[in-house]
Amino acid sequence: MKLRGWVLAAVALAFIANPLAAQEHEEHEPLKRHKLALFVGYTWVPTGDPHEADSRGTVIAPTVGIDYSFWISHKVGVGLVNEVELTTYVVETRAGTTLPREYAYIGAAVGMYEVARGLGLYAGPGIELEKHENFLVLKVGAEYSFAVAHGWATSVAFGYDFKDEYDSWMLGLGVARRF
């Protein structure tokens, strides 16, 4: 729980530490407020196992996602992150019991801050929906985008999900369009 507090404090500090940083972008560069991104990657569940008989393993779940963000300025935005884990597995909860997970959906409303050109941080609350049991989620992460052309970009993303009963992290690639 102390780690969650430190993460929240760090994200809050990033949002308020440099309110004038949004004006660092060149004046002639127009702000493209909307961004739609597709994501493919893997989610690592350290307390999960694909076999119900043994819940003391690890699961690497293929994950797909679609994200939307609205940029208030060149540096600050808000967005919706949506991911689906494309597998079934069993996790060991913090209480030591096992819990099946099938094609879990994770959705979160996040705040975003671009700390350097192309490098953004995000954090926000969300929910993991799954037919056996739903969990609240605190999603934090970072993304590095490479501009391609005409509003298109590719990115590498890392995210960590703090959940009620277990945590997971993901790594993946994305393609996005700003308009």
pTM: 0.81
119 falls within a domain:
yes
Q: What is the mean pLDDT of residues 52-60?
A: 68
For residue 13, give its domain range: 2-18+31-178
Amino acid at 25: H
Q: How confident is the model at residue 173 (pLDDT cuts 50, 70, 90)?
A: very high
Give the per-residue pLDDT at 22: 43
100 falls within a domain:
yes
C-alpha span between 107 and 116 (Å, rounded): 26
CB burial string 154-164: b at 16+ within 10 A, e below: ebebebbbbbe
Identify the CATH number of the domain in which residue 163 sits: 2.40.160.20
12 falls within a domain:
yes
161 falls within a domain:
yes
66 falls within a domain:
yes
At 122-160, the pLDDT tens digits run 999 999 999 999 999 999 999 999 999 999 999 999 999
Number of structural domains the chain divides into: 1
25 falls within a domain:
no
